[in-house]
């Protein structure tokens, strides 16, 4: 568990930026001077901070019979260490810091990484977010609480957890009482997660696929399945965990494998969110034409039928009507409280 002396905590965690291994890419760059795979400096940039009403009902407060959900106090951070070809938030996941002091690491970088960084540079036109200090971020958390948020929901936060942990400590010292949700791709370092023990109340990771070839083709990470499995095990060890699985068009068999693995491994200790909302956005349609459509009702029904057949009862199932671009936040319209 991380220490709760704010000043000491800031010092210890800040040191993690100097030889960055905050995620499984293990770039070992000094984030004050160079960029790693994620393209993020040590500066926190956020794309959006607002109440969000389309998370799982227990997080947003939205459910049948509730007309005025309070919403999840969601903070979207810029950048990502995966940048999946079909990313539903591609406008922000492709962001690469543009400060001239921060150069992409090219020495020892493989071709795939270089390609991802140049692909990312093109994405910077869509949304560059806003830089915030630790103090400003703590203020945003408190403002979300004042707005009635049910929780603080950190979306793709791993790159900045040293500073975000400090912002949470600071906000708590000023009255933040809300539970903290850690919303993640699942591609996380177990060692970094151990530093969050006691700080996070609900983990909300994806488990995208178990097939290494799919991890390589769609997420630039052949090790995605093994890394995500270990990360989820650590999350479940620590606290309440909801695992999301987004059903992709043409990949029903893989979805069934994922659900079987989760149920066999964790049973009812986790909740599973079976998501139907895949929408073809971003560059996936050019590189992977099979992803250039929404999933069919039959595909989703086959996945849900499998979940029922193997005995999963602790699950969220989505109305396919949510598969609309309007349910993806408009990141180019910067909305920060
Ligand atoms: S957080 Fe970024 S710089 Fe650090 S290891 Fe991960 S990808 Fe590399």
Does residue 23's CB lie within 6 angstroms of at least one atom of ligand 1?
A: yes
The length of the chain, given as a count of residues: 337
Testing ligand 1's pocket by substitution, the residue of 15, 24, 81, 224 carrying the most ligand atoms inside 8 A of its CB is 81
For 262, the enclosing helix (H) or strand (E) is helix 252-266
Q: What is the pLDDT of residues 249-298, one digit of tens each?
A: 999 999 999 999 999 999 999 999 999 999 887 666 677 888 999 999 99
Tokens of 315: 């699950």
pLDDT digits (tens, 9 = 90+) for 171-185: 999 999 999 999 999
Write the Ramachandran bin of 26: left for phi over 0, alpha for psi from -120 to 50, otherwise beta. Answer: left
**29 in contact with ligand 1, CB cutoff 6 A:** yes
The CB-side HSE value for 91 (13 A sphere, CA atoms) comes to 17
Q: Which two tokens stand for residue 13?
A: 């965690």
329: enclosing H helix or E strand: none
pLDDT band at 54 (very low <50, low <70, confident <90, very high): confident
Q: Which residue has a Cα nearest atom 6 of ligand 1?
A: 23
Distance 251 CA to ligand 1 centre (A): 29
Of the candidates 93, 92, 113, the one whose C-alpha atom is nearest the C-alpha of residue 104 is: 113
| pLDDT over threshold 70, residue 106 | no
Radius of gyration from C-alpha coordinates of the chain: 19
Q: Measure Cα distances from 289 to 8, 84, 217, 245, 300 in Å.
A: 50, 14, 13, 21, 19
From CA 280, how far away is CA 249, in angstroms rounded?
A: 10
Q: Which residues pair with 35 in a beta bridge?
A: 104
Name the β-bridge partners of 336: 49
113 Cβ inside 6 Å of ligand 1: no
Instruction: Verify whether ligand 1 is closer than 6 Å to residue 244 (CB atom).
Output: no
Please choose from 21, 26, 31, 37 the residue to mutate so as to test ligand 1's pocket, defined by most ligand atoms within 8 A of CB. 37
Task: Read off the pTM.
Answer: 0.87
Residue 119 has what pLDDT?
46
Ligand 1 touching residue 35 (CB < 6 A): no
Distance 227 CA to ligand 1 centre (A): 15
Nearest to 93 by CA among 152, 161, 16, 40: 40
53-58 average pLDDT score: 85
H/E stretch holding 134 reads helix 134-146
The confidence score (pLDDT) of residue 296 equals 95
> How far is 37 from 190, CA to CA, in rounded Å?
18
CB of 304 within 8 A of CB of 275?
no
Q: Is the beta carbon of 259 within 6 A of some atom in ligand 1? A: no
The structural domains of the chain, with segments of one domain joined by +, span 6-336
Three-state secondary structure call for residue 325: helix
Arch. (CATH architecture) of 6-336: Alpha-Beta Barrel (3.20)
Contact 248, 276 (CB under 8 A): no
Give dist(CA 200, CA 139) in Å, integer. Answer: 18
> Does any ligand 1 atom lie closer than 6 A to the CB of residue 32?
no
Ligand 1 near 27 CB (within 6 A): yes
């Amino acid at each position: 568990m991380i220490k709760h002396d704010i000043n000491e905590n800031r010092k210890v965690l800040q040191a993690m930026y100097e030889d960055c291994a905050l995620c499984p890419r293990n770039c070992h760059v000094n984030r004050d001077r160079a960029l790693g795979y994620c393209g993020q400096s040590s500066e926190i940039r956020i794309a959006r901070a607002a109440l969000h009403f389309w998370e799982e009902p227990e997080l947003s407060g939205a459910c049948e019979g509730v007309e005025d959900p309070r919403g999840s106090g969601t903070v979207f951070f810029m950048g990502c260490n995966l940048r999946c070809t079909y990313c539903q938030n591609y406008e922000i996941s492709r962001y690469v810091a543009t400060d001239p002091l921060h150069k992409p690491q090219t020495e020892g970088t493989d071709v795939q990484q270089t390609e991802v960084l140049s692909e990312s540079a093109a994405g910077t036109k869509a949304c560059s977010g806003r830089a915030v200090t630790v103090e400003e971020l703590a203020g945003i958390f408190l403002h979300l609480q004042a707005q009635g948020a049910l929780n603080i929901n950190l979306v793709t936060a791993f790159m900045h957890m040293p500073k975000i942990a400090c912002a949470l400590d600071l906000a708590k010292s000023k009255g933040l009482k809300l539970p903290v949700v850690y919303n993640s791709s699942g591609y996380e370092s177990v060692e970094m997660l151990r530093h969050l023990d006691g700080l996070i109340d609900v983990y909300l990771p994806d488990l995208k696929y178990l097939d290494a070839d799919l991890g390589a083709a769609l997420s630039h990470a052949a090790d995605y399945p093994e890394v995500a499995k270990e990360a989820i095990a650590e999350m479940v060890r620590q606290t309440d965990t909801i695992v999301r699985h987004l059903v992709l068009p043409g990949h029903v068999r893989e979805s069934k494998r994922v659900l079987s693995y989760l149920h066999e491994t964790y049973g009812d200790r986790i909740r599973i969110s079976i998501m139907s909302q895949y929408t073809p956005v971003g560059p996936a349609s050019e590189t992977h034409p099979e992803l250039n459509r929404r999933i069919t009702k039959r595909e989703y029904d086959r996945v849900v039928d499998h979940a029922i057949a193997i005995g999963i009862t602790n699950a969220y199932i989505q109305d396919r009507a949510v598969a609309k671009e309007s349910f993806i936040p408009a990141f180019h319209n910067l909305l920060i409280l």
